[in-house]
Each structure stands twice: as structure tokens, then as C-alpha cells.
Amino acid sequence: MIPRIIVDQVNNQTLQTGIINKIKAQYGIMITSWKPIWSYYGGVFEITVDTNSSYILKIIRNPDEYKLRHLEAEVAFTQAVTENITEFITQTFIQDKNENELQKSNNDMFYLLKKHEIIKKSVPTPQEQQHVGRLIHAFHTKLVDFKHEGIAGTSWMREVEPEQYKILLQNMAEKEFAPFVAPLNYEESHLTKTLIHGDWHDDNFSFSTPPFLYDLDTLSYGAASEEIARTITHWTNDDLSIKDFYENILVGYRDLSQDEIDVIPRVAVAICLRQFAEITQNGDKYNDARGFLELEKKLKSLFCC
């Protein structure tokens, strides 16, 4: 007998009977066991079914219209990667008996993904760091024609809302942050917008064979400079030299103008400021707000921006 709601107290994740029954009806499989996978937003499970196969189940609670469109974009993106990319793979949506990838259960959406081997390297070798740069370059150049109305820009990454601006004012002089969090003028900075992953780091990337890129909820239209800035600020290990990592990413990426390179430190600082303000505003217990302020200072000292 399946309990009506199964709760993981540590991660506050629930697997509801309605979703279990919907999976049985739409996919013809019965969940026999499950375990929560930690996720910032929750709702991620590894499930085992009665065919002895395992999948990743992702549940999106009460998605708004933009999130629904973005989910559709994620499905389309995986198809584009299959058709255009040989350097890496991305997540695979499992279709139900009606060939649908996305499912609705009451006010929630959910979907099943193929389970992949995950090999994390929080301190990759210099050669592996350069390879990450090459993969990011392949992403940006081989998916340049991918367009979808469900994907928006990158203001979420580096701009701050009014309340977040106040938080920054409480922690530093305005002149120390305002120029960085101002809207990015792509034309003046000679930046070209393209499709970017938006969160390419060691929690969303596997050094498996072939490499595996996942967690697509940050797909955005932005600049290569923004992608690289996000990568160097979010690769999660204090033992990784950010200067060496940055330089190796550039060696691997190769195809960047000096204007594009020059803007990366500024964007990286903006990302740290935004993260600090957002974490502080939300009372986020999973992330270290002060750590982003320390990283912001380190970036300024390293790159003199």
C-alpha cells in the first residue's frame, strides 16, 4: 500500500499518490521505490519501477505561464542537441504512451528523465578545464539557430531588484556595486547574444563519456561572456584556482574577441553581488551569502575591474 504522501523531512520533498498513479496510467509502469535527490527547488527523485528500470522524476509545483513555456523549450532543446551536437549529450525526456514528455497532476507538472551516470569533478585538471571551454564553445556555436519563445534573457543572473539593491546598500558603498549591476548594454560592449545554458558548473555537468550536461531551467539568450562568468563563479570548490580555471576556460573556448573577454570580470562581479543579495533576501539556508561577497572581492583584486 502506498501512503498518500511520502515526506522526506531533510529535503522537504514529497511524492504524491496522484503522480504515482498518473505515471502508472500514462507510462504503464509502477513505482516500487524512490529516493529524493537534493535540488535547490526540491521535487527531484530517483525512482525504480516494476521493470527494474530507474528514472529521474522531476516535479514542478504550481508552475506559472513562463515556466510552462520554458519546459516546452527544454524539450525542444534536447531534440536540437541530438540533431546538432556530438561533443556532449543532454537529458532525455521519456515519452508516455501518447508520445508526450510533460505531464500534469492537479496544479503540478512532472516528467521522467533517463538516468545517466554522473561523474563530478570539483577540481578538474587543467586539460579537463580546457575541455569544458571547448564544450561551451560547441554549445554556443552549434545551437546558434535554436529559437524558442519560452526562453528569455539573462537579467535574472546579474541585475538586482529594488529590495536587493537596498541590501547591497546596507553592506557597501553604492559606487562599489552600482556600475556592476546596471543593465548590460550588449551593443556598446560588442557582445553577441546566443543561446546559453546559464548555469554550467560541476552540479550540472558530468565528466562521463560522452560528457553529460543537464538541469536546463536556466537556458537563456545571452552572451558567451555571461556563460563563462557564471561558470567561474559557480564551480563549487575553494581549492580550485579561479584565475587558472578562468584562463583554461578561455584557452579551450578560443573564439572570443578582446571586448568579450574584457566584460567577463565585470559580469562575474555582478553575478556575485546578485547572488549575495538574493540569498540574503530569501533567508536561504543552503547557500553562503558572505561567500559570494568574498568571491566578489577576490575577482576585483584578480582582474582589477
- What residues does each domain of the chain span? 5-114, 126-303
pLDDT score of 8 more than 50: no
Q: What is the pLDDT of residue 258?
A: 97
Q: What is the pLDDT of residue 286?
A: 62
Q: What is the pLDDT of residue 68?
A: 97
Would you call 110 exposed, middle or buried from its count of C-beta atoms within 10 A (0-12, 13-18, 19+)? buried
Total Cβ atoms within 10 A of residue 4: 9
pLDDT score of 1 more than 80: no
C-alpha cell at 280: 540574503
pLDDT score of 287 more than 90: no
Measured at the alpha carbon of residue 89, what is the angle toward residues 87 and 92, in degrees to the nearest 5?
A: 165
Q: Which residue has the higher pLDDT, 288 or 124?
A: 124
What kind of fold does domain 126-303 have according to CATH?
Answer: Aminoglycoside 3'-phosphotransferase; Chain: A, domain 2 (3.90.1200)
Q: What is the pLDDT of residue 297?
A: 94
pLDDT score of 305 more than 70: no
pLDDT score of 11 more than 80: no
pLDDT per residue as tens digits for the range 68-106: 999 999 999 999 999 999 999 999 999 999 999 999 999
pLDDT score of 238 more than 80: no
Tell me the mean pLDDT in the region 124-128.
Answer: 97
CATH 3.30.200.20 applies to domain 5-114: yes
pLDDT score of 40 more than 90: no
Lowest mean pLDDT among 136-150, 153-167, 192-206, 271-285: 271-285
pLDDT score of 14 more than 60: yes
Would you give the distance in Å from CA 65 to the centre of its chain? 20
pLDDT score of 15 more than 90: no
Nearest CA-CA partner of 270 in 141, 158, 150: 158
Place of cell 557564471: 230
Tell me the mean pLDDT in the region 153-171.
Answer: 97
Q: What is the pLDDT of residue 9?
A: 34
Q: Which residues contact 182 (CB under 8 A, 6 or more apart)?
A: 159
